[in-house]
Amino acid sequence: MRIMRIFRHLETILATLLIGGFLSATLARLAPGFGADEQELDSRLSAESIRQIRESHAQERNILHFYFNYLKRAIHGDLGTSRSLGKPVRQLIADRLPITVRLCGLGLLVGWTVGLALAIAVVMAQVRVLDVFAAGLAGTFLSLPAAVLALLFVYFNAPASLAISSIVFPKVFSFSRNLLAQSYGLPHIITARAKGLGSARIFGWHVLPVAGPQMLALAGVSVSMALGAAIPVEALCGISGIGQLAWQAALGRDLSLLVTVTVLVTVVTLAANTGSDLAMDIFRGQQA
């Protein structure tokens, strides 16, 4: 059963890669200036030489043929050259991916720690003032676009990873708070409290097993949130990561690069969701 699920997820990732690759190839093929060669501007070349240069590009005019070649090159790790930055796309991604992974990883860690800690504190303490304060804080952060948060973090000279965590934290808090409050209202947990079980024991043995699987689902989704937030944060904080690369590609209308980056980020998102799905499966399996 679990192996079937893994296969289904791998199918989805493969389908996304193929469709995304086709989209990338189509956009690159339809982009203005496709097929033009700088060599044609050389005044020393004869008409016959120019004709031969044009003929060498002729077979790429068929989108399917172009996609097949693109796919063949991509399998060998050649993702083409960025039109706007003049560097191989593979090198650009290899240089920038670790920076984004570090930024988002740290942001997710801090966001989850703060969000979850606050949610647990609010639910366990059951103090109205704390609940209103935490909800107000989370609501304010939820009402701010990621780009504004990035600008404010630049102004305060705060680390950019904290900007990512301030985007992740309110969603983690809101979801966890509601989930934990629901779990604490379940009859067997009320009974456990009535019987005098300690707070830590109730949380660890009764609440966490109920809320755990859904928290893991949110963990998968939060990766997508962090990667999405990486665009404005990296662009406005001047961090050379994948988000900034996507933004530069969009401004330079470098469609091939932009779609390649988008497909890469989508695959990372799908892999994170697959991971959380499998973790949920294992968690439920252990409980059963």
Partner 1 sequence: MSGIQKFACWTLAAIVLGGIALSIIVPADYTVQFRETPNAVPTHQHLLGTDELGRDRLARVLYGTRISLLLAPAAAFLSTLMAALIGVVSGYFGSWCERLALAVTDLVLSLPWLFLMLAVRAVLPLNVSPLTSVVITFLLLGLLGWAASARVLCTGTRVLRNSDFILQARASGLHGFRLLAVHIIPNLKPVLYAQFLISVPVFILSEANLGILGLGVAEPLPSWGSLLRELEGWGGFSTEPWKLAPMLLLILVVSCFQVILAREEVSA
Residues that bind partner 1 (CB under 8 A): 12, 15-16, 19, 27, 139-140, 142-148, 151-152, 155, 224, 227-229, 231-232, 235-236, 246-247, 249-251, 253-255, 258-259, 261-262, 265-266, 269-270, 273
Span between the terminal Cα atoms of the chain, in Å:
15
| Dihedral over alpha carbons 240, 242, 245, 249 (to 10 degrees) | -170
**147 vs 217 by CB, closer to partner 1:** 147
Nearest to 284 by CA among 223, 209, 232, 227: 209
Left (φ > 0), alpha (ψ -120 to 50) or beta: where does 261 sit?
alpha
**211 vs 236 by CB, closer to partner 1:** 236
| Least spacing, CB of residue 239 vs partner 1, in Å | 14
195 burial via Cβ count (<10 Å: 0-12, 13-18, 19+)? exposed
| Least spacing, CB of residue 218 vs partner 1, in Å | 15
Number of residues that make up the chain: 288
Nearest to 27 by CA among 283, 260, 264: 260
| Least spacing, CB of residue 261 vs partner 1, in Å | 7
**118 vs 258 by CB, closer to partner 1:** 258
| Least spacing, CB of residue 156 vs partner 1, in Å | 10
**63 vs 197 by CB, closer to partner 1:** 63
| Least spacing, CB of residue 197 vs partner 1, in Å | 31
Here the contacts of 194-201 (C-beta below 8 Å, separation 24 or greater) are 199/124
Asked whether the beta carbons of 252 and 170 are under 8 A apart, the reply is no
CA distances from 175 to 107, 117, 189, 216 (A): 18, 13, 20, 12
| Least spacing, CB of residue 35 vs partner 1, in Å | 18
**162 vs 229 by CB, closer to partner 1:** 229
**23 vs 45 by CB, closer to partner 1:** 23
